[in-house]
Each structure stands twice: as C-alpha cells, then as structure tokens.
Amino acid sequence: MRNGCAGGIIPVTLISTSIKRTEQGSLISTPTIIPRAEHSVSRADISENALKVLYRLNKAGFEAYLVGGGVRDLLLGLHPKDFDVATNASPEEVRAQFRNCRLIGRRFRLAHVHFGREIIEVATFRAHHDQGEGEGRMENGLILRDNVFGSLEDDAWRRDFRINALYYNIADFSLVDYTGGMRDLQNRELHIIGDPVTRFREDPVRMLRAIRFAAKLDFQLEANMAQAIMEQAERLSDVPAARLFEEVLKLFMHGHALRTYELMREYHLFKYLFSETNALLDSHGAYLDPFIRQAMINTDERIQAGKPVTPAFLFAVLLWGPVRRRVELLQEEMSVLDALRTAGDEVVSEMVKQVTLPKRFSLPMREIWQLQARLEMRRGKRPWRLLENRRFRAAYDFMLLREQVGEPLTELCQWWTEFQEEDEDGQQRLIHALPGNRPRRKKQAAKKKRVAPSTLINNT
Ligand code: ATP
Ligand code: MG
C-alpha cells in the first residue's frame, strides 16, 4: 500500500463544508465533493470483495459507497481492518442481490455479505429518529432500535465521528464529505458529529469508540467532547454486557492496547468495564498498574509481530488484581489452589454483571490463574504433566509477566525456561536439583513431605 496522505495531499480549499439551517431549524448541508484526481483512495487498496459488492449494488440501480474505517484508514495510509458499505437499498433489497448474504442484528439491522472468511457489512442509509421512515426506539435519550432509514445526507449526520462519515462513491470514485471529516484528518483531531452529550446519551459505546480511535490514530480528542466523556462515563452502565464484551475486545486487541488503557483510565471509563480492578488501581496501583501496562505492551508487540493474542490471557491480566486480593484472604482457610478456584468463581460472577465473558474465554482464563500455583509444584512427574497442559504456555507467559513487575519469581521463571529447553536427562537433573527433591535415603523418604510455601501472594 502507498503511504499516508493526510499530511498535505488533501487540498485545504476542498475541505470546507457549508451548513445552513432552514427556518424550521433543520440542517441543510452542501457536501464537499472531492474528485478522484484529488484524493488518494484507490481501488487497488480496497478489498476485491468490497468492490464486488459496491459494483453489484450500483449496477442494480442503487447508490453504493464505501464508508467508515475503510475510507478513513486509506486516507491515512493505514490498512483498514474491514470494509463497510452504505447504500440506499433496504436490507431485503441487498439480500436479493447476493446469494451469500445474511441479515443480522435487531438493534441495528444490516446485511453481511460473506466471501469465505471476509464479511462485507452493508448498511442501509440511516436517519435521525425524528426523520426518515422505518423502526426506531428511544428511551431516555438512549437508542434501543436504530432502523430508521433515510438519505445519504441523513446517514452522514447520524454517524459517530466526522472522520468516519466520509463516503467513497463507486459511481465516479469521488469522496463525499458532509461533516468536515477531511479537515479533521488533516488536523489529526477527533470530533463527534453534533452535540457530544446528546450523542453519548443516544449510544454510550461512542465514548469507548472515541478512545479507541484516539489511541489507534494518535488523534487529539476535541475539548468539548473530552469533557463530555468525563461527565457521561457512567452511562456505560446502560449498555448491555454482551455489547461491552465485543467492545473490550476491539479496544485491546488491535495493537494500541497500552494507549487505550491509559486513555480509559484518564477519562474514567475503565471503571465501568472493570470496576474492582479500577478500585484496586486507585488504592494498590504500585503493583497492578505496571503489571497491566506491561501486559498491554506485550500484547501490542505480539500483534505487531503478527502473533496471536488470546482474549483469555488479556482478561486474566485485567482481573488478576481482584483474584490476587481474594486469594490473600482465602488462603488463610484453604489451600492456594482452592483459594484460586474460589476467587476465580467470585471474580467472574462479579465481572459478568458489567461485561459478558463467554465460557470459551473464562474457562482458559481460570486455568491460567490456577496454573500459577501449579507451576510452583515441581516434584516428581508434575513438571512433565504441566508441560503437556494446553494452557502451559499462557500460564508460563503470565508468570514471566508477574516476575517482570517485581514478584519474587526469578528462580521459578528461570527454572521453567531451562526445563523447556532441556532434553529428558536435563529435565530430570533440574527436578533432582530442586531443594528437598534430591534422592533421599529410605528413612528420610518416609518422613512427611514439606511443601515450600507458595510465593503466589508474597509481599508485593
Ligand atoms: P474499525 O472497523 O477500524 O474498527 P470503523 O470506523 O470502520 O472502525 P465500525 O464499527 O466498522 O468502525 O463501523 C463502521 C462505521 O459505522 C463507522 O465508521 C461509523 O461511521 C459507523 N458507526 C459505527 N458504530 C457507530 C455508533 N455507535 N454510532 C454511530 N455510528 C457508528
Ligand atoms: Mg469498519
């Protein structure tokens, strides 16, 4: 892909959008149209499947535009994560055009056109709820159903941020800018469309999206909007827990987790996703904050290197503070393994009140925690059994992370690193070399084994 273009290639003369009001007060805007010769979005950089969808809709007589992250990221010289299409065809009309198409969503109905693993999202132009036709439902300013259809212009004004409301027209390859998104790309600023308080009330997830885009693009949050986020943060508790789970993944799994975490804390949003962790960060931040930061740095590095990251590991990190805290108390009355199990159950059941955590992630997450105690138990055949555990690698990485931020685990980490590198004889030697694990005389062996105390909860 060609490299960035926001700095300079967007002609300043082309980026003013004029907005007037009618006597009734509704907005009329004249879009800025930027012809193909004057912008850098090229079909060579758009996925073939997205182009197929755009052309097909256009051929069938509908308007069809690429919009959202696809246009924004291409203008910034980045690789778009996915391609979103906007059209005046209704969801049913879209479905009629494609064999490989499914309609999804109730709150926001849209068409998914499937091409193997790639999905092109096709959304019908939406309007604000007092305009357009279709099905819309609001409650206390919160949008419950967002299926009121409208024109291209309506659609532009109901999008979240100005940089996300740029349309690439497949009919003539021009860009259409109603809201001033091109100017924002040039100034590297994030502006919400309309009044921030109203827009965050309609959909509080937009606050998380603001943080995500600011972190990903390294854009400045416009001051009024930044203020509104601080004031409206608690509205996140109105968002269904399942939707928040999807958002958390997007927040931390796209290569800018550290900056996202910093901004979430700064804007008081973290509390509404991870309230116990947030409280511990406020009171015991000296251990927990570096721990989370280091995990975010590692996650970002893995993503940059094209390595997989698992949500189970990420959640294990984000919830480790509350787990550790509980283990501290529970360990008085039960074994550390039982304490970890009980603490894990409690933390997960608190967590899902805020953010859903599907079992396919919460089970491996709990295993990672329990393995923290098992990794200390290195007698007999245990180390080999542990090595074969499917979560061994994640648990080992988790332990290294704890060591990195100052837990007294250096010997244990080195031991396990060597154990993985050695052949069987070497491994046997490592086990025998452990204190209290040397071959004993018969009389000694009969004595009760003394297990070294767990370092899990030591002095940090
Ligand atoms: P990326 O895909 O890189 O995460 P994106 O901007 O494409 O970023 P999507 O979630 O794919 O984000 O949404 C596509 C577009 O739909 C956005 O660019 C925006 O115009 C619009 N949009 C998405 N969510 C909302 C929302 N909650 N409120 C208003 N508009 C939204
Ligand atoms: Mg997108």
Q: What domains, with CATH codes, occur in the chain? A: 18-187 (3.30.460.10), 287-450 (1.10.3090.10)
Q: Which of 45, 82, 238, 338 is catalytic?
A: 82
359 Cα: distance to centroid of ligand 2 (angstroms): 27
**pLDDT score for 202:** 93
164 lines ligand 1 (CB under 6 A): yes
364-409 per-position pLDDT tens digit: 999 999 999 999 999 888 999 999 999 999 999 999 999 999 999 9
Q: What is the pTM of this model?
A: 0.88
Catalytic site residue 425?
Answer: no
Catalytic site residue 423?
Answer: no
Higher pLDDT, 204 or 26: 204
- When pLDDT is cut at 50, 70 and 90, the band that residue 28 belongs to is low
Catalytic site residue 84?
Answer: yes
The pLDDT of 34-55, averaged and rounded, is 97
For ligand 1, atom 26: residue with the closest CA: 160
The pLDDT of 157-186, averaged and rounded, is 97
159 lines ligand 1 (CB under 6 A): yes
For ligand 1, atom 6: residue with the closest CA: 69
pLDDT of 361 > 80? The answer is yes
Identify which ligand lies nearest to the alpha carbon of 108: 1
- When pLDDT is cut at 50, 70 and 90, the band that residue 90 belongs to is very high
Higher pLDDT, 276 or 132: 276
Q: Which atom belonging to ligand 1 lies closest to the Cα atom of 84? A: 14
**pLDDT score for 358:** 94
Pocket mutation for ligand 1, best pick of 159, 166, 205, 225 (most atoms within 8 Å of C-beta) = 159
205 lines ligand 1 (CB under 6 A): yes
**pLDDT score for 132:** 65
d(CA 269, CA 275): 10
pLDDT of 232 > 50? The answer is yes
69 Cα: distance to centroid of ligand 1 (angstroms): 7
Share of the chain above pLDDT 70, in %: 88
| Phi and psi torsions of 103, nearest 5° | -90, 135
pLDDT of 17 > 90? The answer is no
84 lines ligand 1 (CB under 6 A): yes
For ligand 1, atom 15: residue with the closest CA: 68
